Amino acid sequence: MSDMRKLDLLAISASKKAVDKLHDYLKNLREDVADAIAGTTAIYHKGTISGSTILSANATDLDSVITLANELKAAIAAHLASTGIQGVHAAASAESIAAADAEDQGTANTLLNELKADYNTHRTESGVHLNNDSTNAVSSINASDLASSITLANEIKTDFGAHILGAMSAGFIADM
């Protein structure tokens, strides 16, 4: 077989793979649009990003509050910063997390209260999401002691988790 024939076959194979990927993307996009029109899925983001999933268990004591608060900080920071061609947001979010990592009850309270405020502002910030998230608001009182920090940390985990799941299953066309 000639080298030109081999190159032609490689080009055809690459083209078929690209067409298959485009077909899958368009199929998923059609499903996303149908779900959005039907109101069965809330779509806030263009896709999902790594680093924004919370793996820690719910908080039950001070150590788990500190662990969860710090994991939430990292995940929410990654989420807020995700813009651009492969970012999940249509535009940059104005929020940035200034509080230090949690090390004790006081720093955990400070961090959790800031995460609540920044996340709640971010959900409905103008121009950031494909659709504003009016559903997944954190409504627990601010953290001031162990009991309120446990409640707040667990609610942020739940509401933020639901917020990041509001993504298009089609993903990013740039990934093709």
The answer to whether 133 touches 124, Cβ cutoff 8 Å, is: yes
Question: Between 152 and 174, where is the model more confident?
Answer: 152
Closest CA relative to residue 54, chosen from 149, 157, 135, 156: 157
The answer to whether 75 touches 116, Cβ cutoff 8 Å, is: no
The 10s digit of each residue's pLDDT in 23-65 is 565 565 566 555 555 555 565 665 566 667 788 999 999 999 9
Q: What pLDDT score was predicted for residue 80?
A: 85
Tell whether 66 and 151 lie within a shared domain.
yes
Q: What pLDDT score was predicted for residue 154?
A: 98
What does the block give as tokens for 63?
Answer: 């150590």
Q: What pLDDT score was predicted for residue 173?
A: 44
Q: Would you say residue 99 lies in a domain?
A: yes
Q: What pLDDT score was predicted for residue 53?
A: 77
Q: What pLDDT score was predicted for residue 14?
A: 62
Closest CA relative to residue 61, chosen from 158, 139, 149, 156: 149
Q: Would you say residue 28 lies in a domain?
A: yes
Tell whether 18 and 78 lie within a shared domain.
no
Q: Would you say residue 141 lies in a domain?
A: yes
Residue 100 is given by DSSP the state P
Average pLDDT, the chain: 79
Place 127 in a pLDDT band, splitting at 50, 70 and 90: confident
CA atoms of 16 and 20, how far apart (whole Å): 6
CA atoms of 5 and 128, how far apart (whole Å): 49
Question: Between 116 and 39, where is the model more confident?
Answer: 116
The answer to whether 157 touches 68, Cβ cutoff 8 Å, is: yes
Question: Residue with structure tokens 């950031």?
Answer: 128
Q: What pLDDT score was predicted for residue 130?
A: 75
Tell whether 28 and 95 lie within a shared domain.
no
Is residue 31 within a helix (H) or strand (E), and if so which, with residue range? helix 3-38
The answer to whether 62 touches 146, Cβ cutoff 8 Å, is: yes
Tell whether 72 and 24 lie within a shared domain.
no
- Flag whether pLDDT at 102 surpasses 80: yes
Q: Would you say residue 126 lies in a domain?
A: yes
Tell whether 76 and 31 lie within a shared domain.
no
CB neighbours of residue 68 within 10 Å: 26
Q: Would you say residue 170 lies in a domain?
A: no
* Domain range for 138: 62-165
Q: Would you say residue 27 lies in a domain?
A: yes
Q: What pLDDT score was predicted for residue 160?
A: 92
Tell whether 31 and 69 lie within a shared domain.
no
Tell whether 37 and 108 lie within a shared domain.
no
Tell whether 148 and 78 lie within a shared domain.
yes
Q: Would you say residue 123 lies in a domain?
A: yes
Give the CA distances from residue 25 to residues 38, 39, 171, in Å, rounded to whole numbers and listed in that order: 20, 21, 8
Q: What pLDDT score was predicted for residue 149?
A: 98
- Flag whether pLDDT at 86 surpasses 90: no
Tell whether 29 and 67 lie within a shared domain.
no
Q: What pLDDT score was predicted for residue 82?
A: 79
What is the value of pTM for the model shown? 0.72
Domain count, the chain: 2
Q: What pLDDT score was predicted for residue 163?
A: 87
Q: Is 72 exposed, middle or buried (0-12, 13-18, 19+ CB in 10 A)?
A: buried
Averaged over 68-81, what is the pLDDT? 91
Q: Would you say residue 35 lies in a domain?
A: yes
